[in-house]
Structure 1
Amino acid sequence: MNILLILGLIISFGGILLGFILENGQLYMLVKQISPFLIVFGGTFGIALIAFPFRNIKRIPGALKLILLPKKHNYAALVDLLCDIANKARRDGLLSLEAEAERLSDPFIKKGLGYIADGVDPEFLKKVLYNEIESHYKRYEDAAKVFESMGGTAPTMGVLGTVMAMVTVLSGGTEDTNRLVKDIATAFLATFYGIGSANLLWLPIGSQIKVVAEQESDYMEVIVEGLMAIQAGEPSSRLKDRLYAKIGEIKNGTSKPVSQGF
């Protein structure tokens, strides 16, 4: 479970609602009418369906699962695994890696070892693996774009809802000042929903999807680095230094983007 994500949502929503209460607001006032909710969220979701193909929409559940239950990447264990494979390749030959791949659970490593056992060209192997990384990242980026678009649409829907409510209020012709003031206050609920949902939900979720997807790509890049060295017959001691140098680049933010990988 992504504790920071849950904690961030609790703190952000809690801080805003607590501040509202301290300003003598009453929570029921924020949910007293369903119409602002329908205008903002219905309009936002509807426009997302218009703006994006079904390919983007269907990737949302997987992206949400990714950020709520992110994979734990143990780089030290990965380095040990790749070094063990390197030792086996130098001892038994590259053809032995086909059997080695069968006992592994990581599909990306299995695919790479399969190509190495087949004796493919190093440049071809590198290109195929980096294409796999880019494809993997793009699947989540497609979902992130939907949330980012919703973050831009929601405030506009909020303003639209407020304008619609103000037209109704001001055209009512009521002489009751207290009633008029309450109706105007209620009209601004749509703006509250629009700005709040954009900045508390849609935009942060879109950003979080991209961040976690980049972490996935970084992990896969380390695997590619290891597989390329294994194919070249590099000793495990040198391979370990190479991999930890790559991990250091990733953690320091100096690693090249995936698109420049080949």
Structure 2
Amino acid sequence: MNDFLARTEEGTAALTRAVSETFADVTDPARRTPQGWRRFAYLALGESTVWARLFGWKKAHVATSAPLLPLLAAEAQDPTLSPALLAGAVGQAEKSRRLHRPSLLGVAGVSASHAAYSWVLYRRGARNDARGWGLRAMAWAAALLATRKQPTRTAVAVGGAAVLTTSALAGDPRLRTDATKGLSHGANLLVAAEGLTALRARLSFAESQQKTRILKKNKKQSKPTKSARAVGAAEAGAFALGHFLLVDALTR
């Protein structure tokens, strides 16, 4: 528990530092750079995706989420990170298009992006210990159990393994320096985002089935909609902040 709290504090400090630097880069004339403006645009669009999910504005969400990862890809210093982020953008677009029955392209995009993240971390010496890998393995098994009867089970199995590998490597204690203190927190936020995607798919699927059985005037019908929107907003926030923290730590 103490380690979890310490990592949470480190992640919060890393996010505060990154956001403060971004605002300084666009408000201080002496510090203004294209990188600062890109990060500022990323944060603004990231917040917009949260509100779009919360209010159920599908077109607004598609418009604001599409540029997110390409903006980070434009500033990545490692040649492996840019393709990773672009692959992730493809995966995210496919999620918006086919939530209930994930496409092969969407699963491949998410998996490829995390495979690239993992490769960058591995090159930097990330390995982690048996406990770190064991915790992720249990989380993966729990996700498989929860979605065993859902059409998303294959996507959860493949994509979940990829994102949890990133989380395990990013959680290696040997990488906990001042420059990379947001690394583990960012990766764990992406794990949370993938879990929330699966939950939102389940809620949305239940809602679509309910509409075929219950009259529209039934008050119970609105509950899944509100739940799915709230979950979607949390998912969008975790996704945007997770990638932001991960890229920030890997490019310092």
Q: Same fold (TM over 0.5)?
A: no
State TM-score, norm by structure 2: 0.31
State TM-score, norm by structure 1: 0.30
Higher-RCO chain (CA-CA 8 Å, sequence separation at least 6): 1
